[in-house]
């Protein structure tokens, strides 16, 4: 079963603008089924709004059609939690980030992947770890290299194949 993570808008925006970056690689791995991304409509709307801003469109030259198509594709890759988010009370020093934590609580994700300094400053909320895209990629690489229970049971763990 792939690792389940909530990815915030800062990572999603970076993935769109810089597909070869660490955030872009996270989305690529989700597309391959190596991790399960979970989003809320609020996260998706926040991402869409940021990408459609005049400032970003003028700076990076992407079209509205490209953003809308990418967001539609994202909805196909990620699990969208459409129910009302739980009230978690104040969770982050920036209350505008509490919805990211609430999404992770609602979907029972073990990880929030973010570039947001306020969320990263928390480090953890209850049992949910809050990490960067780079750390998440490193952990996925380590998990992929580790032997599975089936490998151990069959005696193929560590075998050169």
Q: What is the pLDDT of residues 91-138, one digit of tens each?
A: 899 999 999 999 999 999 999 999 999 999 999 999 999 999 999 999
**Mean per-residue pLDDT over the chain, rounded:** 91
What's the whole-number mean pLDDT along residues 1-29? 95
The range of the structural domain enclosing residue 111 comes to 3-154
Distance between CA atoms of 10 and 43, rounded to whole angstroms?
10
Q: Please report how the helices 9-17 and 22-31 are oriented relative to each other, as an axis angle in degrees rounded to 10.
A: 90
Domain count, the chain: 1
Residue 61 included in any domain:
yes
pLDDT the model gives residue 145: 81
Residue 160 included in any domain:
no
Q: Which residue has the tokens 């400032």?
A: 55
98-108 pLDDT, tens digit each: 999 999 999 99
């Amino acid at each position: 079963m792939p690792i389940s993570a909530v990815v915030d808008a800062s990572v999603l925006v970076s993935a769109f603008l810089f597909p070869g970056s660490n955030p872009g690689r996270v989305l690529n791995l989700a597309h391959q089924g190596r991790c399960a991304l979970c989003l809320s409509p609020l996260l998706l709307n926040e991402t869409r709004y940021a990408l459609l801003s005049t400032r970003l469109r003028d700076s990076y030259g992407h079209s509205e059609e490209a953003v809308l198509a990418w967001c539609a594709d994202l909805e196909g890759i990620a699990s969208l939690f459409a129910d009302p988010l739980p009230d978690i009370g104040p969770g982050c020093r920036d209350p505008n980030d509490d919805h990211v934590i609430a999404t992770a609580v609602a979907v029972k994700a073990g990880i929030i992947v973010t570039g947001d300094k306020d969320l990263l400053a928390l480090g953890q909320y209850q049992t949910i770890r809050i990490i960067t895209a780079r750390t998440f990629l490193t952990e996925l690489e380590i998990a992929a290299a580790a032997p599975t229970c089936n490998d151990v049971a069959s005696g193929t763990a560590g075998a050169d194949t």
